[in-house]
Amino acid sequence: TFFVGIRLLLVALFFLYVGVRFKGSQIPRIFWLLLGTSIVLSVLAKVFAFHLFYPSRYWRFTYPLLVVLFAGLALHRMKRVAVFFGCVVVLFFIPMVQLGHSMMDSTECGEQSGLLDFISTLPRDVMVAGHPYDMDCVPTFSKRAAYVTFEHTLPHHVGFYAEMSRRTNAVFDAYYSSDVASVNAFCTAEGVDYFVFGKSRFEDASYFKPYSARIDALLDLNAGNFASEKFDDFVYEDAEYSVVAC
């Protein structure tokens, strides 16, 4: 966190230098406002701890736009090209690579296109359950309700998290169970209409604590005897995902 703060400070100082150096004559006022509000809201989000959502959300999406604008101006006006490229590498390239990786890591919906297309054909009032990681894209791209997602499982609000935690434990108990009856019982009890299995979730079952310990215990208990392998009536199946109607 300390180094992130230092990096943001250096970036802000560089933007300030460019503005003073060129008197902001070629920079629309809206971009200065964008820079200022991004920094201020990011700081406020840190101070108020999640009441304004993640601090990074106020910076990571405006940052690339500001980089393009200011870097373009600097490249056009700076006479010392070596200095310019040094600034780009230190202040822009490294953070941009990190931002790019974080965005790509959290954007896997394209890999689920077949599954998401199928779910979007289901009745609009259905409830779909599956591994929380695999459910993240369902509400946005399939326009269907997901029982629990990874994004829902973050402990920002105590009451809400208590229910999401209960659902997360319940879905993992069904996901890694050894018999079809357990999955069906889960669906009946929780009002779930379709259950999604992902093959890779049995090969790499990593998840964050405290749920990882529960998953490890289920894997040890039911290894090689999972309910997902005992269904023979999948309503959708591809190389990664299998869907059963409850």
103 falls in which pLDDT band (50, 70, 90)?
Answer: very low
How deeply is 138 buried, as exposed, middle or buried, from its count of CB atoms within 10 A (0-12, 13-18, 19+)?
buried
Interatomic CA distance for residues 56 and 41, integer angstroms: 10
Is it the case that residue 30 has pLDDT exceeding 90?
Answer: no
Q: What is the mean pLDDT of residues 208-225?
A: 92
Model pLDDT, residue 27? 65
Q: Across 28-37, 62-71, 222-231, which has the greatest mean pLDDT?
A: 222-231
- Nearest to residue 116, comparing CAs of 130, 96, 102, 101? 130
Model pLDDT, residue 142? 96
Model pLDDT, residue 47? 82
Higher local confidence (pLDDT), 87 or 30: 30
Q: What is the mean pLDDT of residues 205-229?
A: 92
106 falls in which pLDDT band (50, 70, 90)?
Answer: very low
Model pLDDT, residue 43? 83
Higher local confidence (pLDDT), 170 or 159: 170
Beta 241-245 vs 194-198: how paired, if at all? Answer: antiparallel
Interatomic CA distance for residues 242 and 123, integer angstroms: 18
Work out the mean pLDDT of the chain and round it to a whole number: 81
Beta carbons of 128 and 145 less than 8 angstroms apart: yes
Residue 221 neighbours by CB under 8 Å, 6+ apart: 178
Q: What is the mean pLDDT of residues 140-153?
A: 93
244 falls in which pLDDT band (50, 70, 90)?
Answer: very high
Higher local confidence (pLDDT), 131 or 5: 131
Residue 236, beta-bridge partner list:
243
